[in-house]
Amino acid sequence: MATSQLLQLAQQIQDLTSKIVSDLSAHQIPEPNFTPSSTEIPETPETAHLRASLNDAATDLLRLVNGPRNDARNRICTLYDIVAWQAACEFGFFDAVPEDGGASISEIAVRANVDEERVGRFIRILATDRIFEEKEPGRFWHTARSVVFLRDRQIRDAVHYQVDEYFQAAAQTATSVKQTPDGFTLEKNPFVASHGAPLFQYYKQNPTLAARFASAMAGIGRMERQFDDLKDSYAWATLPKGKLIDIGGGNGHYAIALARTYPNLEITVQDSLEMMAAASLQDLSDLSGRVSFMQHNFFTAQPIACASAYLLRQVTHNWSDEDCIRIFRGIVPALEKSAPGTPLLVNDVVLPRAGEVGLYHERRLRQIDIMMMVALGAGQRSEGQFGELLRRADERLKIVGIHGTGNLSLMEVHLVRE
């Protein structure tokens, strides 16, 4: 009798779930449930690997059982789930339901300033995904999957900006492709087609949305353990004496965290005048001057030579190939004056080759790639694509290693000398 693929997938699901349950039990952590008091499975590299494998097996089982037509219908109609998310974020549904009690549709409608009929339709489709629960007719309570957005403003902002300005931009993608036969740029892309200005200019013109975007980025960083991945991906403690230059490092949030983790590090954060102003508001008294800030445009030559390392954290995905070449080329003179083997560290997504990682993990990376296309006319790159950009910037720039296991890799580049 032929082996059943459905039963093989079901067995994988059971084996992986058993491993998760065993790990939770060994650490005396309760299993998650859908109540607001539920705990979450801890975020570690091990649980991330198990989660990805479980998602691959469970999703493949559902794909096979549902069949192509049903699966396509389910996927395409998630558009209307996003509509309900948009309404919930925009009109404050998460705040309208108290954490320690339920709320009627009429109560939510008053607090949200939206009519009862539409509130009921929006919140009921969310409840089918266990976002809220209708325990009594017309009365809703929080679940674990909704209360997180009441408790954590940054995570809610991470959803809100996606279902608002990014969702509007995404709807313009096919039209924008037709209008740009030579490809997208920072000035010509779906975001510009939707909002009339490039992303960075749009946020300068809309400071309230800019603040929400900044909050969202902080939330995503926590959700995806971006600092932990950065911290654990490289032997920072072994860097020789000298400054780590964080190019385009924003307000220094990650540099400050690195400096607090590794007392050997001295870091200079380079960014715009606006970012310098934001950085000046932070209390760095515990760092004894080990983190400093300077204004610098990374399209110009790097002014600090003889550094211990240069870091580009989530910079390259914002820019076109030609712009990335300019950024890399601007660092070369400083690398030439630094000690041989001084690393240029590029902290960004490195797209995998076909079959290199599971589909769940690859899909998450390629979602980020399409998001960059929509928002900035830019994108994520593979190791080969990065290598080609580095070669075009200077043939001596070589990738010597790719570190890390999370969504963001740490690509180590050296200036190879004769």
Using CA atoms of 22, 23, 26, 31 in order, give the dihedral in degrees to the nearest 10.
Answer: -80
Mapped onto helix, strand or coil, the DSSP state of residue 95 is helix
- Residues 100/49, Cβ–Cβ less than 8 Å: no
- Residues 268/245, Cβ–Cβ less than 8 Å: yes
Phi, psi angle pair for 341, to nearest 5°: 85, 0
The answer to whether residues 104 and 232 belong to one domain is: no
Q: What pLDDT, on the 0 to 100 scale, is given for residue 278?
A: 79
Query: What is the number of structural domains in the chain?
Result: 4
The answer to whether residues 100 and 58 belong to one domain is: no
The answer to whether residues 72 and 106 belong to one domain is: no
Q: What pLDDT, on the 0 to 100 scale, is given for residue 1?
A: 59
CB neighbour burial string for 122-152, b if at least 16 within 10 angstroms, e if fewer? bbebbbeeebbbbeeeebbbbbbbbbbbbee
Q: How far apart are CA 371 and CA 394, in angstroms?
A: 29
The answer to whether residues 204 and 340 belong to one domain is: no
Element (DSSP H or E) covering residue 397: strand 397-403
Q: Give the start-end residues of each E strand in 62-217.
A: 103-104, 133-136, 139-141
Which of 142, 160, 195, 317 is labelled catalytic?
317
Tokens in use for 381? 């790159």
The answer to whether residues 157 and 146 belong to one domain is: no
Q: How far apart are CA 15 and CA 19, in angstroms?
A: 6
Give the number of other Cβ atoms within 10 Å of residue 172's Cβ: 18
- Residue 103 belongs to domain with CATH number: 1.10.10.10
pLDDT of the chain, 418 residues: tens digit per residue:
578 999 999 999 999 999 999 999 999 999 999 999 999 999 888 899 999 999 999 999 999 999 999 999 999 999 999 999 999 999 999 999 999 999 999 999 999 999 999 999 999 999 999 999 999 999 999 999 999 999 999 999 999 999 999 999 999 999 999 999 999 999 999 999 999 999 999 999 999 999 999 999 989 988 888 888 899 999 999 999 889 999 999 989 899 999 999 999 999 999 998 888 877 888 899 998 999 999 999 999 999 999 999 999 999 999 999 999 999 999 999 999 999 999 999 999 999 999 999 999 999 999 999 999 999 999 999 999 999 999 999 999 999 999 987 789 999 999 998 7
Using CA atoms of 181, 182, 184, 187 in order, give the dihedral in degrees to the nearest 10.
Answer: -100
The answer to whether residues 71 and 82 belong to one domain is: no
The answer to whether residues 307 and 406 belong to one domain is: yes
Q: Which of 127, 151, 175 is the last residue of a domain?
A: 151
- Residues 243/269, Cβ–Cβ less than 8 Å: no
The answer to whether residues 202 and 162 belong to one domain is: yes
Q: What pLDDT, on the 0 to 100 scale, is given for residue 165?
A: 98
Q: How far apart are CA 210 and CA 278, in angstroms?
A: 13
Half-sphere exposure of 321 (CA within 13 A, CB side): 13
Q: What pLDDT, on the 0 to 100 scale, is given for residue 282?
A: 86
**Catalytic residue at 317?**
yes
Kindly report the pTM of this predicted structure.
0.92
Q: How far apart are CA 234 and CA 253, in angstroms?
A: 18
Q: What pLDDT, on the 0 to 100 scale, is given for residue 173?
A: 98
Q: For the chain, what is the radius of gyration of the CA atoms?
A: 24
- Residue 395 belongs to domain with CATH number: 3.40.50.150
The answer to whether residues 166 and 254 belong to one domain is: no
The answer to whether residues 264 and 168 belong to one domain is: no
The answer to whether residues 42 and 89 belong to one domain is: no
Domain assignment of residue 23, given as a range = 5-76
The answer to whether residues 11 and 159 belong to one domain is: no
Q: How far apart are CA 197 and CA 220, in angstroms?
A: 24
Q: Which of 76, 91, 119 is the last residue of a domain?
A: 76
Q: Which of 116, 151, 186 is the last residue of a domain?
A: 151
Of the candidates 268, 218, 210, 273, the residue with the CA atom closest to the CA atom of residue 243: 268
